[in-house]
Structure 1
Amino acid sequence: MDMAVVAACSAVLLFGAGFHLYWGLGGRLGAGVSLPQREDGSPAMKETAAGALLVGLVLTLVFVLVLGFAGLIQLPVAHWLQKTAIIFWAAIFTLRALSWSRYFGLFKRVRNTRFARYDSLLYSPSCLLLGLGFFLLALTDAA
């Protein structure tokens, strides 16, 4: 198991989880670029605290999965099931990064908004890093 990949994926997950939990609890720093925007800058989806908290919780659980898969903590789930979940999340994060969606992903069509710039520079590359890192973890798993 490549601990540098585990560390990089963990750092990205914790950073993302932290921001989503912060937004879900009412924080405003960065909130203006946290959701996709239409060409005119208006939100493409409704901002909800529950949605942000849910994403933060999911990212936290994926972080715990990474720690368990790497053998750093003990999870009450069979290793093969953890590996299946790692591959699932690898696909999810890679698809998010490479999405042909109108508003997000490296191949998005709307590129002139504040969110789009952050998505191109931070969000999509982070998802691609996670996706590729997770695939690498699954491929190098010796268990």
Structure 2
Amino acid sequence: MMYSLSIMAIVLLWMISIIHIYWAFGGRWGIGAVIPVKGGGQQAVFVPRKWGTLCVATLILLASLIILIQQGFVAYFQPSSFSKVGSSVCACVFIARAIGDFKYVGFFKSIKHSQFAKNDTKFYSPLCLFLGFIYLELLF
């Protein structure tokens, strides 16, 4: 069971990373539904920059590498204390993202009527919670 869930998490992380690379190089598909907006308007909370988006894509790929190592899928890298620390960090980051900042993102956000907020409640926060629990499971 954990094998299948790990493969699913890896594929999802790769897809998310590819989408971030697409956005970093000027892609516009889906961009309107993935950036939180301030309450009452359509003003974005932040404007993602090319290098920041590429950094996020790289971090997501590295996060998938931790799953690959912890599950023993990479022949040259065996699970170690470093990959366990990485798994702990990823678990904390993804679970914290799922909980959110209590205003714009996460299950406990207060601004809930934008397209981003609806997608966040249906897709992004549950995905982050799923990934967080995958990383927690990899610790044991």
Please report the TM-score for the alignment, with normalisation by the length of structure 1.
0.89
* Deviation sequence 1:83-108 (CA, Å, 0-9, x none): 11101101110010012431000100
Alignment CA distance shift 1:75-1:22 (3 Å): farther
The answer to whether the Cα contact below 8 Å between 2:69 and 2:77 also exists between their aligned partners in 1 is: no
Q: Percent of aligned pairs with the same residue?
A: 27
Structure 2: unaligned runs, 5 residues or longer: none
Residue aligning to 2:126: 125
The answer to whether the Cα contact below 8 Å between 1:35 and 1:44 also exists between their aligned partners in 2 is: yes
Q: How many residues align?
A: 139
Measured on the aligned residues, the alpha-carbon RMSD in Å equals: 1.7
User: Once structures 1 and 2 are overlaid, which stretch shifts more, 91-100 or 66-75?
Assistant: 66-75
Residue aligning to 1:28: 28
Provide the rounded CA distance (Å) in 2 between the counterparts of 1:119 and 1:52. Answer: 18
Q: Using the TM superposition, give the Cα deviation of residue 76 of structure 1 relative to its aligned residue in structure 2, in angstroms.
A: 5.2
Instruction: Please tell me whether residue 54 in structure 1 is matched to residue 55 in structure 2.
Output: yes
Alignment CA distance shift 1:137-1:20 (3 Å): same
Alignment CA distance shift 1:45-1:74 (3 Å): same
Provide the rounded CA distance (Å) in 1 between the counterparts of 2:12 and 2:102. Answer: 22
Provide the rounded CA distance (Å) in 2 between the counterparts of 1:74 and 1:38. Answer: 47
Please report the TM-score for the alignment, with normalisation by the length of structure 2.
0.91
SS where residue 134 of structure 1 aligns?
helix
Provide the rounded CA distance (Å) in 2 between the counterparts of 1:113 and 1:75. Answer: 46
* Deviation sequence 1:48-100 (CA, Å, 0-9, x none): 12221111111011111211111111455761110111011011100100124
Structure 1: unaligned runs, 5 residues or longer: none
